[in-house]
A and B are shown apart, each in its own frame.
With several copies, the nearest count.
Chain A
């Protein structure tokens, strides 16, 4: 699989996701500098986690205006899969590729811990490796992961199966106790209208092997790899 990881100043999970992609696909992704304006032909674009531009002003705001983002938007519109993890999700919303915004966690604190997610839609390029309603354990690590969208947008997301993941309890129950950051409807990850752009706050790249304490994240990278190999 030919993937591109976009590196912004302050990205810090770029290497982590590159390792995960290589572990699944056997191919090392190309690392693309934010100041470039063109993207090579590729099967997947990843916007990694981190603190692009220090998360100053608003998380993801400055990165979303980087020169490379015009190319990312164009490719996304043309159907290339785009995955935004954590800061990458924030950048995708700031760039308008995904609706809504990620606000400060309701508890105001940075939170780093494993959480449970329920796979709400496993008919996507990204989630085909999971079962319907499967509960997976994936870490979060963010300060601004509190998903907000106006009610019309929220309804549209819900009605069209665009909520990919929701924070849940270990048994899959969706409730306030399982919501780490105050996200509306416990939303942890959403898709764009055409289903080729996924943004999520949790970090699947952090749990890809038993040494790291679990491998629930791996299925996402395996699924993306398999997709390309079939095509």
Chain B
């Protein structure tokens, strides 16, 4: 199974990388960029076929390691 995990900064948490990207884009002459937020995208290949177990496992992985829930949110998609 393949899981796709998005980790994004919580609202209100400053995002130095996003800000820097926005600035760089405007330096390069791109107009209309209002806000940029940078997050992480993690793909995990999992053994097994039980999506329910998998989902529980992935949730635990995110909460315990992949995301810092003080500043980040996460979301999980699972392809069977």
Contact = CB atoms under 8 A, between A and B. Distances in A.
Q: Do chains A and B touch in the complex (CB under 8 A)?
A: yes
B68 A94 contact: yes
Q: Which secondary structure dominates chain A's binding surface?
A: loop
Interface in B1-47: 12-17, 19-21, 24, 27-28, 38
B17 A108 contact: yes
B70 interface: yes
Interface string A9-45: 0000000000000000000000000000000000000
B15 to A, nearest CB: 8
B72 to A, nearest CB: 9
A75 interface: no
B20 A56 contact: yes
B71 interface: yes
B66 interface: yes
Interface of B: 12-17, 19-21, 24, 27-28, 38, 64-66, 68, 70-71
Interface of A: 53-54, 56-58, 61-62, 65, 93-94, 99-101, 103-106, 108, 146, 148, 150, 182
